[in-house]
Amino acid sequence: MQVEPFTFSSFMTNCYLCHDAGEAVLVDASCETTDEQRQVQALIEELDLEVVHLLLTHAHVDHIFGCHFFEEQYDMRFAAHEAARPFIERAEEQATAFGVQVTPPSVPTTWLGEGDTVSFGNTTLEVLHTPGHSPDSISFVDRASQQALTGDVLFQNSIGRTQGLPQTSRDQLLRSITDKLLPLGDECTIYPGHGPQTTIGRERQQNPFVREAVKQ
């Protein structure tokens, strides 16, 4: 699996185009402006990819800005965790709360939970439910290439926010990291929802929040 990263909007939210053998999935269509949406589309065309899934790590408004645009462009499955439903249905309310605007996406056609898989090309992504930052947080793991897309759970030197957002739990977030992400192994590359890519090994050794959580 090849991972092409983009960072979009004033939230600096990462969007990932993951592809393998001509097929692709788009993880978190965070592109807010027409220009940002066209950047992703241009790469899809340049690499001659067939986009087969639009996936959400969670449905906070900064991760869904571009969903509507891509739903109109491609014949693909739209998948998220079922707890994303109220967040998607209230997309405009979420946007207003942050002083931005969003064209609401449709409700996903596929609900994903722990242990489900998503396949494209020769890649199979395994779904881990990693709540805490939001109830619908899921991570997508490619065990074959040791890469994982983890949304707003674990960042380089930091962790997902659990204050000022609905249905968060810091304890649950730390458990998601220690019980679900750390077992992926030190070599596993992490593509987070914000900031640069990192590895489990780096965060295990250097991330103060992870070090604290492991001690407990």
Footprint on this chain of Zn ion (rule: CB under 5 A): 13, 60, 62, 152, 193
- Residue 68 phi, psi (nearest 5): -55, -45
DSSP sequence for 94-119: HHHHTT----PPPPPSEE--TT-EEE
Q: What is the dihedral of CA 97, 15, 79, 203, to 10 degrees?
A: -90
- Closest to Zn ion by CB, 152 vs 203, is 152
Q: Whole-number minimum distance, CB 41 to Zn ion, in Å?
A: 22
Token reading at 126: 């395994």
Q: Whole-number minimum distance, CB 11 to Zn ion, in Å?
A: 6
CA–CA gap between residue 62 and residue 58 (Å, rounded): 10
Q: Whole-number minimum distance, CB 96 to Zn ion, in Å?
A: 17
Closest residue to Zn ion: CB criterion:
60
- Closest to Zn ion by CB, 121 vs 151, is 151
Q: Whole-number minimum distance, CB 140 to Zn ion, in Å?
A: 15
- Residue 126 phi, psi (nearest 5): -100, 140
- Closest to Zn ion by CB, 62 vs 142, is 62
CA–CA gap between residue 12 and residue 97 (Å, rounded): 17
- Closest to Zn ion by CB, 49 vs 59, is 59
Token reading at 27: 């993880």
| Opening angle at CA 165, ends 105 and 55, nearest 5 | 35
Q: Whole-number minimum distance, CB 215 to Zn ion, in Å?
A: 26
- Closest to Zn ion by CB, 132 vs 193, is 193
